[in-house]
Copies of this chain bind each other. A is one copy, B any other.
Amino acid sequence: MAGERRPRGEYTVGRERRSGILQTALREFAEHGYHGTSLNRIADRAGISEAGLRHHFANKDALLVAVLEQRDASSERLPDGQEPLVGVADLEHHIAIVEGNTATIELARLFTVLTAEATTRDHPAASWAVDRYRSIRASIEQGIRGGIASGEFRDDVDAARVARQIIAIMDGLQLQWLLDPEAVDMAADFREYTAELLTRLRGE
Residue numbers of A with Cβ under 8 A of B are: 30-36, 109, 112-113, 115-121, 129-130, 133-134, 137, 161, 164-165, 167-173, 175-176, 178-180, 183-184, 189, 192-193, 196, 200
Contact = CB atoms under 8 A, between A and B. Distances in A.
Contacts of A189: 161, 164-165, 168
Interface of A (DSSP majority class)? helix
Nearest to A204: B204
B179 A119 contact: yes
Nearest 4 CB-CB pairings of A with B: A168-B172, A116-B116, A35-B35, A172-B172
A35 B118 CA distance: 13
A200 B173 CA distance: 20
Q: A116, A130, A176: which has the most chain B beta carbons within 10 Å?
A: A116
Contacts of A33: 33, 35, 117, 120
A98 B153 CA distance: 29
B31 A120 contact: yes
B32 A32 contact: no
Contacts of A196: 200
Contacts of A119: 109, 112-113, 175, 178-179
Contact of A168 (B109, B169, B183): B169
A58 to B, nearest CB: 21
17 contacts: A31-B121, A32-B35, A32-B120, A34-B36, A35-B35, A109-B120, A118-B179, A119-B179, A130-B180, A133-B180, A161-B192, A164-B189, A165-B189, A168-B169, A168-B173, A168-B189, A170-B172
A42 to B, nearest CB: 15
A115 B112 CA distance: 10
Contact of A116 (B113, B130, B180, B184): B113
A198 B5 CA distance: 65
A115 B116 contact: yes
